Amino acid sequence: MIQAGTIGWFACHESRLTWRDWLAMMTAGGRWRKRSVAIWLIVVLLVMHAFAAATVGSFAQVGVDPDKATLVAITGCMLLSWSLMLSQAMESVTRAFYARSDLDLILTSPVTAQKLFAVRIATIAVSVSAMSLVLAAPFINVLAFGGGVRWLAAYGVVVAMGATAASLAIVVTTALLRMIGPKRTRMVAQVIAAVVGAGFVVALQIAAIVSTDTLSRFAFLKSDAVMAYAPDTASLLWWPAHAVVGGLGALAAILFASIALLAGATFVFSRRFGEQALAASNAGVSECYLSAAPWAFRSMPPRRALRQKEWVLLWRDPWLLSQTLMQMLYLAPPALLLWRNFGNGDGALILLVPVLVMAAGQLAGGLAWLTISGEDSPDLMATAPIEPAQVVRAKIEAVLGAIALAFAPFVIWLLAASPLLAAAAAAGIVTSAGSATAIQLWFRSQAKRSNFRRRQTSSRLATFAEAFSSITWAATATLAAAGLWLAAITAGMAILILAGTRRLSPRPAA
C-alpha cells in the first residue's frame, strides 16, 4: 500500500487520470466497447507496420557507421518528429495551466504541492513520449526485424526526445507567463505551438521549392547544397542519428542529458508551478470583465447578428486560431510554388488544387463543429425569437464565409495564371467545404467548445466520411483541372459517400 502524500501516490493518481482521459477519448465517452477499440487498434497497428515496411524497410541494412547522406536523412526525420512532439508538449502544458480545476483543492490540502506539480510535469513528458512511441513503434519494429536488434535503441531516442520536448515546453510557457502575463500567454503559447508544429515541415518544403522546384523534403535533404554544408560524420550533431542506428555510447549520453534536463526543469519550475497555474486560471475570469468594451447595441437583422456572433467567437478561440494558423502555414509552400511557376504553364500549378481542396474541407469541418455542435448557449438560442432553420443557416453562412475569406486570395491568384485551374480549385473548395459542413450538421451533438481537440471521437463515422469526402473532392478537382473525364467518376464516388453518410446519420428527434 502506497502511503498517501508521497510521490508514488501522486504518480498513481495522475496515471489513473491520464488513463481515464485516454480511455474516454478512444471509446468516445463510453459509446464504443473496449473490445471494439482493441480490435481497431490492432488493425491500425498492422496497417502501420505494412506502411513502414514499404517506406523504411530498405534502410534496415544501414550499418552502425552510416555515411553523411544517411545521417542527414535520419536527423531530418528526427527534427520533424521532435518539432511535433514539442508542439504537443506545449499544448499539454497550456492545458495544465488553464484547463485543470483542482488548484484550490491542491493548494489547501495538507500535502506538499511541489510533489504533485513535479509528478504532473513528469506525466506530461511521459504522455508525449508514449504517444510518439506508439507512432514510431511500427517503423522501429520493421527496422529491427530486417536489420537486427540494434535498431531497438531508437525507442530510447524517442524517450529522450519526449523528455527534452517537455522540458523546453515548461521553460517557454513559464517564461511567457512571467513576461507577458497569464492573459496573453494562452494565445501566444498556442500560436507558438502551431508554428513549431508546422514550421519545420514548412521550412523544409520551402527550401525544397527554392532549390529543386518540388515539394519533396527528401529531395532537399539529398541535395548537393545540404551535403556541402553538413559537418563531418564525427560531429556531435550526428549523435542522435548514431544512437538511432544502434550506437550505445551515443544513446547513453543522449538519455542522460535529456533526463537530467527534465529533472532540472522539474526541480526549478515545480515550486512556482502552482502559483503560475492559479494566475492563469484566474485570468479567464478577470478577462471577461476587463475586456468588456462600452459599445452600444446596434440593430441588425437576426441572421447578420448570428453570423457576426459566430465570427467573434471563432476569433476569440485560442485553440482554433492556433489550428487555423497551422493549416495556413501548410499553405505557404503551395503559395510559393504558385509564385515561382507563375506563367510557366499549368503542370506545376495543378499540384496546388488538391492541397487547397483538402485544406478547405478539413478547416470547414473544424469550424462547422464549433459553430453547430460547440454552441455554448443552446438554451438561449432555442428560446430566441428566431426560427431554428435561420439559426442553422446563419451558422453555415458563417463557416462558408470564413472559408471564402481564407482561400479567395489563392483562387484569385490562380485565375490570373489559369482560368481552368481557378475554376476547378474554386469548385473543389466550395464542394469540399460544403460537404464537411453538411456531415457535421447531420451528426451534430451538443458538446463544449473545450472538447474541440476531441471532436473526432464524437462520431468516427463522421470523421472518416469527412476525410474520404475531402480526398475524393480533391481528386475530382485535380482531374478536372487536368481535363480528364475521370473526374466524373470520382465526383460520383464523393456523392455516394455523402449519400451513404446521410443514410447512416442519426435521425433527428421528433
Decide if pLDDT at 217 tops 90.
no
- Of 113 and 481, the one with more pLDDT: 481
Helix, coil or strand: residue 63: coil
Q: What is the pLDDT of residue 411?
A: 86
DSSP letters of 140-200?
Answer: HHHHHHHH-GGGGHHHHHHHHHHHHHHHHHHHHHHHHHHHHHHHHHHHHHHHHHHHHHHHH
pLDDT tens, 31-62? 667 777 778 778 888 888 888 888 777 777 77
Question: CA-CA distance, 431 to 438, in Å (whole number)?
Answer: 10
Decide if 510 is inside a domain: no
Domain carrying residue 84? 7-287
H-helix or E-strand spanning residue 275: helix 248-290
- In terms of average pLDDT, the best of 49-63, 326-340, 341-355, 445-459 is 49-63
Q: How confident is the model at residue 450 (pLDDT cuts 50, 70, 90)?
A: low
Amino acid at 47: V
The answer to the question of residue 2 being in a domain is no
pLDDT tens digits, one per residue of 368-411: 877 776 666 666 666 666 777 777 787 788 788 888 888 888 88
Same domain, 390 and 339: yes
pLDDT exceeds 60 at position 284:
no
238 and 362 within one domain: no
C-alpha atoms less than 13 angstroms from C-alpha of 181 in its C-beta half-sphere: 7
For residues 429-462, b (16+ Cβ closer than 10 Å) or e, as one string?
A: bbbbbbbbbbbbbbbbeebebeebeebbbbbeeb
Is residue 438's pLDDT more than 80?
yes
Q: Which residues contact 486 (CB under 8 A, 6 or more apart)?
A: 479
Q: What share of the chain is helix, strand, coil (3-state, %, to 5)?
A: 80, 0, 20
d(CA 85, CA 318): 20
Look at residue 343 and give its three-state secondary structure: coil
Of 348, 444, 360, the closest CA to residue 395 belongs to: 444
How many domains is the chain built from?
Answer: 2
Residues 239 and 344 in one domain: no
Nearest to 436 by CA among 500, 373, 491, 364: 364
Judgement on whether residues 224 and 338 belong to the same structural domain of the protein: no
Q: Which of 139-143, 384-388, 469-473 has the lowest mean pLDDT?
A: 384-388
Long-range contacts of 485-494 (CB under 8 A, 24+ apart): 494/431, 494/435, 494/469
- Residues in Cβ contact with 338 at an 8 Å cutoff, skipping those fewer than 6 apart: 349, 352, 410, 413, 414, 417
Confidence of residue 344 (pLDDT cuts 50, 70, 90): low
The reply to whether 365 and 224 lie within a common domain is no
Give the position of cell 498556442. Answer: 190
pLDDT computed for residue 257 by the predictor: 92
Average pLDDT over every residue of 257-277: 79
For range 249-277, the mean pLDDT: 82
Statement to judge: residues 252 and 370 lie in one domain: no
Q: Residue 476 above 70 pLDDT? A: yes
- In the predicted structure, residue 479 carries a pLDDT above the cut 60: yes
Q: Are 481 and 420 within 8 A, CB to CB?
A: yes
Helix (H), strand (E) at residue 395: helix 388-417
**Is the residue at 296 inside a domain?**
no
**Contact present, 265 and 167 (Cβ < 8 Å):** yes
Q: Does residue 273 sit in the same domain as residue 344?
A: no
Q: 244 CB contacts (<8 Å, ≥6 apart)? A: 74, 78, 151, 153, 154, 157
Same domain flag for 258 and 346: no
CB atoms within 10 A of CB 255: 17
**Is 145 a domain residue?**
yes
Together in a domain, 116 and 174: yes
Comparing 287 with 260, which gets the higher pLDDT? 260
Does residue 292 have a pLDDT over 50? no
Q: What is the pLDDT of residue 510?
A: 36
Alpha carbons 145 and 256: distance in angstroms, whole number: 27
Check whether 190 has a pLDDT greater than 50.
yes
Q: Do both 101 and 241 map to the same domain?
A: yes
d(CA 377, CA 181): 29
The per-residue pLDDT for range 244-256, each reduced to its tens digit, is: 888 888 889 999 9
Task: Using the predicted structure, report yes or no on whether residue 480 has a pLDDT greater than 80.
Answer: yes
420 pLDDT exceeds 80? yes
Nearest-CA neighbor of 332 among 355, 348, 315, 314?
355
Burial class (CB in 10 A: 0-12, 13-18, 19+), 357: buried
pLDDT of residue 321: 61
Is 465 part of a structural domain of the chain?
yes
- Say if residue 26 is in the same domain as residue 147: yes
Q: What is the pLDDT of residues 348-361, one digit of tens each?
A: 567 778 888 888 88
Contact between 276 and 177 (Cβ < 8 Å): yes
Handedness of CA 492, 495, 501, 505 (dihedral sign): negative
CA distance 396 to 403: 11
The number of C-alpha atoms within 13 Å of 462 and in the hemisphere containing its C-beta is: 25
Q: How confident is the model at residue 496 (pLDDT cuts 50, 70, 90)?
A: very high
Residue 509 lies inside a defined structural domain of this protein: no
List the one residue out of 432, 409, 413 whose CA is nearest residue 421.
413
Which comes out higher in pLDDT, residue 508 or 248? 248
Q: Is residue 250 part of a domain?
A: yes
Q: Decide: helix, strand or coil at residue 215.
A: coil
Verdict on whether the full-model pTM lies above 0.75: no
- The letter for the amino acid at 138 is P
Mark whether 238 and 148 lie in a shared domain: yes
Domain boundary among 226, 252, 287: 287
Kindly state whether residue 368 falls inside one of the protein's structural domains: yes
